[in-house]
């Protein structure tokens, strides 16, 4: 019996303006809870909630860690 797997990807350009919605979209895509993401990143769950609701923004270093856990890649471009 053969098993096939389909790899799904979300291709969204990440900007500082959509970081919170991107985090929420990717977290749900992977089936992670906010609590699980908090544990994997070392942040408090309330911090994850504030980031996802755009109440606050992570530092660049913190954003990079979250992005890696969610399977993304941080690329910085000049405008």
Q: Is the separation of the CB atoms in 64 and 74 below 8 Å?
A: yes
**Global pTM value:** 0.77
pLDDT digits (tens, 9 = 90+) for 16-72: 778 899 999 999 999 999 999 999 999 999 999 999 999 999 998 999 999 999 988
> Can you tell me the distance from the alpha carbon of 14 to that of 39, in angstroms, rounded to the nearest whole number?
23
Residue 75, in any domain of the structure:
no
Q: For the chain, what is the domain count?
A: 1
> Can you tell me the distance from the alpha carbon of 23 to that of 18, in angstroms, rounded to the nearest whole number?
9
Residue 11, in any domain of the structure:
no
Within 1-79, residue ranges assigned H as helices are 19-29, 34-41, 45-52, 60-69
Q: 40: domain CATH number?
A: 1.10.260.40
User: In which domain, by residue range, is 40 found?
Assistant: 19-69
pLDDT digits (tens, 9 = 90+) for 66-76: 999 998 887 77
Residue 5, in any domain of the structure:
no
Residue 32, in any domain of the structure:
yes
Residue 10, in any domain of the structure:
no
> Can you tell me the distance from the alpha carbon of 67 to that of 44, in angstroms, rounded to the nearest whole number?
16
């Amino acid at each position: 019996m053969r098993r096939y797997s389909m790899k799904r990807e979300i291709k969204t350009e990440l900007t500082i303006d959509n970081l919170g919605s991107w985090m929420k979209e990717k977290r749900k895509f992977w089936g992670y809870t906010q609590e699980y993401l908090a544990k994997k990143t070392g942040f408090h769950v309330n911090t994850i909630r504030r980031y996802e609701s755009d109440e606050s923004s992570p530092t660049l270093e913190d954003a990079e860690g979250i992005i890696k856990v969610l399977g993304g890649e941080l690329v910085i471009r000049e405008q």
